[in-house]
Amino acid sequence: MSRAFRNVAIVGKYQSQGIAEPLAAIAGHLKADGFTPIIEKDTADNIGLSGYATAPVAELGKAADVAVVVGGDGTMLSVARILAPFDVPLVGVNQGRLGFMTDIALHDTQRALAAILSGEYDQEERHILQGTVSRQGQVLLDTLALNDVVVSRGAIGGMVELTVAIDGRFVYNQRADGLIVATPTGSTAYALSANGPILHPNLAAIVLVPVAPHALSNRPIALADTCEVEMTLTRGRDAGAHFDGQAHVSLIDRDRITVRRYQHNIRFLHPRGYDYFRMLREKLHWSALPPAQ
């Protein structure tokens, strides 16, 4: 057993059909191999998994050495934001659709986890954003985002109008359906569908991607991850700010959204030989095979 990993948290997307059996199998194999499984409490309660230690997701960071997340990227985003301050590495088992962050196939879970927990893994660090929404000097929301912070129009509104500043310097007034501030991790999410660039995870960068801008000259801008982005809503009926699509706040005119890099990173553990570009080929359906040498 790896000395680094003894207590292993297990978090599952318990709403998914058929997930109870693989979660129970993972816990059983870990226990048999001498690890201590700690099941996230809502997961255990909803699938009826008993006989193991449990803890609320907010307490897993203090109890676990590593976390195994079974589900899709949405589940991973939720867990990552909570565990970010605790430096708990994450292992993703994909039971969703694309699975950019949950890269272990469900059928290969036992073999892959055994190797990773014995120390055979490739480690990858991803940075995370901290976003603050303020109204007349009062903080409405202060939260984290691994993928992106999005300011967007509402379902019944027209375009939003934003004043955007970077490190306190005015950049532009933006009229668009929205504006995305994305990490390299989030560059393959909503930002990609809005024609933003794919940023390699090793880049110390963030990207601003307008969504359907009124002026066609408004293009994505890549920034150093040391920059602070400030967006002020000047006009936007039913507008909102969204953090990884999981935390939301409604906005009114003159609300301010500030985005900066968070002080902690997220660590992902991948099976040995993980290849970011192979993952992109598979998930984005690029040519599946490299050219013959």
Active-site residue among 73, 103, 244, 255?
Answer: 73
Q: Which helix (H) or strand (E) holds 163?
A: strand 160-166
With beta carbons less than 8 A apart as the criterion, state whether 185 and 201 touch. Answer: yes
* Rounded Cα gap, residues 188 and 197, in angstroms: 8
Q: CA separation (Å) from 25 to 29, 106, 141, 232, 277?
A: 6, 11, 39, 49, 31
- Measured N-to-C along each axis, helices 109-117 and 20-32 cross at an angle, to the nearest 10 degrees, of 40
Residue 221 exposure: Cα atoms within 13 Å on the Cβ side? 17
* Rounded Cα gap, residues 188 and 126, in angstroms: 13
DSSP conformation class of 84? G
Q: Which two tokens stand for residue 263?
A: 């002080």
Q: Could you tell me which residues come within 8 angstroms of residue 196 by beta carbon, excluding any fewer than 6 positions away?
A: 180, 182, 187, 207, 209, 220
H-state helical runs in the chain: 20-32, 41-47, 60-63, 73-83, 109-117, 190-193, 276-284
73: annotated active-site residue = yes
* Rounded Cα gap, residues 158 and 113, in angstroms: 48
Single out the residue of 220, 226, 229, 293 nearest to residue 259, CA to CA. Answer: 229
Residues belonging to the active site? 73
